[in-house]
Structure 1
Amino acid sequence: MESEILRQIGTISRSLDSISNVEFAQFDLAKGQYLYLSRIKENPGIIQHRLSELLCVDKSTANRAINKLEEKGLITKKDDLVNKKEKHLFITQKGEEIYPVIIRENEYSTKVATENISPEKMKVFVEVINKMADNISQNWLDVKKGIKRNY
């Protein structure tokens, strides 16, 4: 049973990502770019390094997605006042117009995914999945630093 947990989470993640890529194609958003747009909206002024950690992607992947969003006029970069190498990311008016659709899709998908699950079970599930995400995120950071996992 335990070995199925990550497989099922992966299935859910890939399914929702595929659905979102199809549904957000009308906004010229593809390959998970909606995730970047959402996190930038939710964290105005976030720097690229922190965004890549938040999404658990490497810097080059984040850079490509951020550059595409900027080219599409959905986000803007602003220089840091102290460290000129760092850019703060902000959503543009055009991005603001798309964001509510992303949120509605997320709410709908959540409703579909949690249908027929009691509030009590959802409370426990949210606690467990949050702990799992923390565990894996930390493990991802360690691996990115070159720490070898022993399994």
Structure 2
Amino acid sequence: MTRICENPGINLVELSNMLKVDKATTTKAIQKLIKAGYVNKKQDEFDKRGYNLTPTDKSLEVYDLIIEEENRSIEMCFENFTDEEKQVATKILEKMSKNVEKEWFKIKR
């Protein structure tokens, strides 16, 4: 839901790629979000086979709370870290993320 709020109009394929999950997993999650009233799904006007996802007012209301909690969790993780340790940890996590992304795209193809 947060990625849809941050990228209104995103389609299922783009969202799946962003999350590094298969389209079936994304579709199941989106169906639940639509049913709960958090996401709207509209047919793409240029590609009738595709759909664009947009946040509802309900999702925008909780988005800030989710991001606030996410930021609080990150702060908690870095508690008692020096600035240098935070930089090192961030670089390591970014490197790990790139490795996962590279492998995910390799498997996807």
The correspondence for 2:101, drawn from 131, 137, 140, is: 137
Aligned to 2:7: 43
Aligned to 2:21: 57
Letter in 1 for 2:52: H
What is the TM-score when the length of structure 2 is the normalising length?
0.93
**d(CA) in 2 for partners of 1:75, 1:116:** 38
Aligned to 2:77: 113
Any idea what SS the aligned residue of 1:68 has?
Answer: helix
**d(CA) in 1 for partners of 2:60, 2:69:** 15
What is the TM-score when the length of structure 1 is the normalising length?
0.69
Map of 1:1-151 to 2, 5 A cutoff?
37-145=1-109
Tell me how far 1:86 sits from its aligned partner. 1.1
Q: Which runs of 5+ in 2 are unaligned?
A: none
Q: Which runs of 5+ in 1 are unaligned?
A: 1-36, 146-151
**How high is the sequence identity, in percent, across the aligned residues?**
38
| CA root-mean-square deviation | 1.1
| Alignment size in residue pairs | 109
Higher relative contact order (CA 8 A, sep 6+): 2
**d(CA) in 2 for partners of 1:88, 1:119:** 40
**d(CA) in 2 for partners of 1:70, 1:57:** 19
